[in-house]
Amino acid sequence: MAESFFSYLKREIEYNTFYNIEEAEHLLFRITSY
């Protein structure tokens, strides 16, 4: 039970980190394209 919860949590954290990096790249591209 705990193991599956931690693997789920790890996946959520990795996904959110990836999403935040994507967002940051979009913002950076928008700033540098001016």
Cα separation, 23 vs 17, in Å, equals 10
The residues spanned by each domain of the chain are 1-34
% of the chain with per-residue pLDDT over 90: 24
Q: pLDDT by residue (tens digit) across 20-34?
A: 999 989 988 888 886
Predicted pLDDT of residue 25: 92
Quote the tokens at residue 1.
């039970």
Quote the tokens at residue 31.
């700033």
* Sole residue written with tokens 């967002």: 23
